[in-house]
Amino acid sequence: MTGKTAFETRYGFRRNEVLLANWRENPFNRWSFQNLGELVPTARVAAASGVVEVPVRDMGGLLGEKVSVGGAPETVAEFLVRSSADALTVMKGGKFIGDWFAPHMDFGARHIIFSISKSLTAIVAGILEGEGVFDPEAPVTAYIPEAAGSAYGDASVRHVLDMSVSLDFEEAYLDPESTFARYRRATLWNPGGGTESLREFILTLQRLAEPHGQTFRYRSPNSDLLGLLLERASGQRFADLMREKLWLPLGALSEASIGVDMEGTARTAGGISVTPRDLARVGEMMRQGGTANGRRIVPEAWVRDTTSTGGSADAWQRGAMLPLFPKGRYRNKWYQTGLPSGAYCGIGIHGQWLYVDPKTEVVIAKMSSQPEPVDDPLDVEIVAFFEALSRMV
């Protein structure tokens, strides 16, 4: 009898069981979220080379500390397991103080961050805005004239950045017959793709009767459109923009990647994969007001607007994510929590988080393979966990 392969022993299934039809499902996502490029086309985003990092595994005993975020007290390590975490990296005052990994993920491995991709894409938009190349108040059609017949025909770039486009679209992650499923086929993330590009799909979307700008509506095509806007404004492919404007100046030490469609259009709404350490570096750059390694990357005014002063409280109050952050706001693809700490974050489905607490100077990157794309009760617990962890370190 043939024994189990090393792959099967580690992950609990065979590699040939992971398919385009099931890669986001448990348990297959424990592997696929670290290996997107074996399932869909991706573009490389090069990083600085020649530096070898070493994990900080102890976390100063934090893993054994108790937290109470879901009822009964549990240790930090127990919560990480319960929340299907794959990796956790913590920074304090600009220094790495801990790295935790599940048995199926190695230090230095890349992991898809899903909608935190939106937050990184918006940083690139902020950089181009600071260079005078990109105008957030311009109409979408100033950059993409062919959007005139779509929902975006009378929308501004600001509406796109703040998710306030009055878009007739639902994030129906689990409905195989929905427009969302057609969207995923256009990104090549579902079987049957390759007949319609992402750009073509987006420009078929229509608007609701409500004016733009009134309600926060979380609609991922807005963020893929943002990538197209940046490409039109700059004349560069998004992967090249990200490398030149963000990844190399940041001092990221590992190559990133981003999914692309049949035309090479980047999946800026959710297709970026990075290491936990490099994701934490993005959060630390934001905490430092847009600088890293003594170098200005994005204007300080843009960071301040994004993380604390900008965004419509009224639009957020009308939106569907109010229970997560009752006093929150959304600006430039980042969430302002409204918590006393002034914390802000990027969030991705299946449990991806980049959490910045400016009061405690803590940055937390959490990557996960949660079985469900959205788990609202668990999200509330995770925020409470981050608050507790930020006070502990």
Beta bridge partners of 272: 258
Instruction: Enumerate long-range contacts of 150-154, CB under 8 Å, 24 or more apart.
Output: 150/202, 150/203, 150/204, 150/205, 150/206, 150/207, 151/205, 151/206, 151/207, 152/202, 152/203, 152/205, 152/225, 153/207, 154/207, 154/212
User: Please, are residues 69 and 78 in contact by the beta-carbon 8 Å criterion?
Assistant: no
Q: Are 98 and 57 in contact (CB under 8 A)?
A: yes
Angle formed by the axes of helices 276-287 and 116-130, to 10°?
50
Q: How many CA atoms lie within 13 A of 272 on its CB side?
A: 33
Phi, psi of 345 (to 5 degrees): -160, 165
**Can you name the residues that pair with 93 across neighbouring β-strands?**
none
In this structure, the dihedral spanned by the alpha carbons of residues 263, 268, 272 and 276, taken in order and rounded to 10 degrees, is: 170
Among the listed residues 32, 83, 84, 115, the single catalytic one is 115
* Residue 39 DSSP label: T
Beta bridge partners of 99: 89
How far, in Å, CA of 185 to CA of 191, rounded?
Answer: 6
For residue 352, the SS3 value is strand
Whether 115 is a known active-site residue: answer yes
CA distance linking residue 90 with residue 56, whole number of Å:
10
Q: Which position has the token pair 């994030």? A: 171
- In angstroms, the CA 392 to CA 388 distance is 6
Give the Cα separation of 284 and 361 in Å (integer): 9
- CB count, 10 Å around CB of 106? 11
Which residues are annotated as catalytic?
Answer: 115
